[in-house]
Amino acid sequence: MSNMSPTDPLAEVLRVSQVRGAVLAQVVAGDPWGIAISQTEGVAMHAVISGSCWLRLSGEVPRQLLRGDIVFLPHGTPHTIASASTGATISFDRLAKQQLLSPAGELRVNAEQDRASTRFLCAGYDFDHNVSHRLISLLPTVVHVRAEESDGEIQATLRLLTSELRGVAPGASVAIDRLIDVVFVQVLRAQISRDEHTAASWLTALADPMIAAALAVLHERPRP
């Protein structure tokens, strides 16, 4: 029997999905730059700590990301993060091989001396795909939470995460992993809130107290 609240099926789904996040790199970039990230099996996440950049996906209009913005790519779609809406790129794998991460976990791209203009996090999430398929499949190709529309909790978590990424405090690596998981939950909350006034979906149902209670019972007792 789960000890989760019977009115919180999202927490139950996340628990059984065994979602785990990890920071892949802290990218420090100076114009011009472009990083191409190939298809991944999990969820890709980028959070802009300072400066700005562009997210580019094949067949979609490029979108600008500003300081405090977070983007999730729930389906691991190939994409580019760059200093401009067009321009040349280098693959993340090739870049990582050419420029080894610093002891602080930084991946510097064209950022010698005072050329750094943008700093952002690259993180990834893995989970039990069989359990999470129903939840992840309902999310759009890109979940973009802008700084100005996010609540104070998300921005507070980003500030804590940025502080921990300096890596000087005892237990920093553990704190980073936990905070990355918190960001995942907070972004899902933001998406559920957006869906409350759109077409019905499982995410919308999770936001409805009565339907959420019924879903919780199904999770607790899937068999008659």
Measured CA to CA, the distance from residue 178 to residue 157 in angstroms comes to 10
- Structure tokens, 216: 């919780």
| pLDDT band at residue 200 using 50, 70 and 90 as cut-offs | very low
- Structure tokens, 77: 């779609």
Strand (E) positions, 14-138?
20-29, 34-37, 43-50, 52-56, 63-66, 70-73, 79-82, 90-91, 106-109, 118-126
Mean pLDDT (the chain, rounded): 79
Question: Under 8 Å CB-to-CB from 121, ≥6 apart: which residues?
Answer: 23, 25, 26, 27, 45, 46, 47, 49, 161, 165
Residue 66 in this model has a pLDDT that exceeds 90 = yes
pLDDT tens for 133-192 read 666 777 889 999 998 877 788 889 988 988 888 767 788 888 888 898 889 888 888 887
The helix/strand/coil state of 48 is: strand
Whether the bond into 32 is cis, omega within 30 of 0: yes
Global confidence as pTM: 0.80
More confident residue, 113 or 102: 102
pLDDT of residue 217: 58
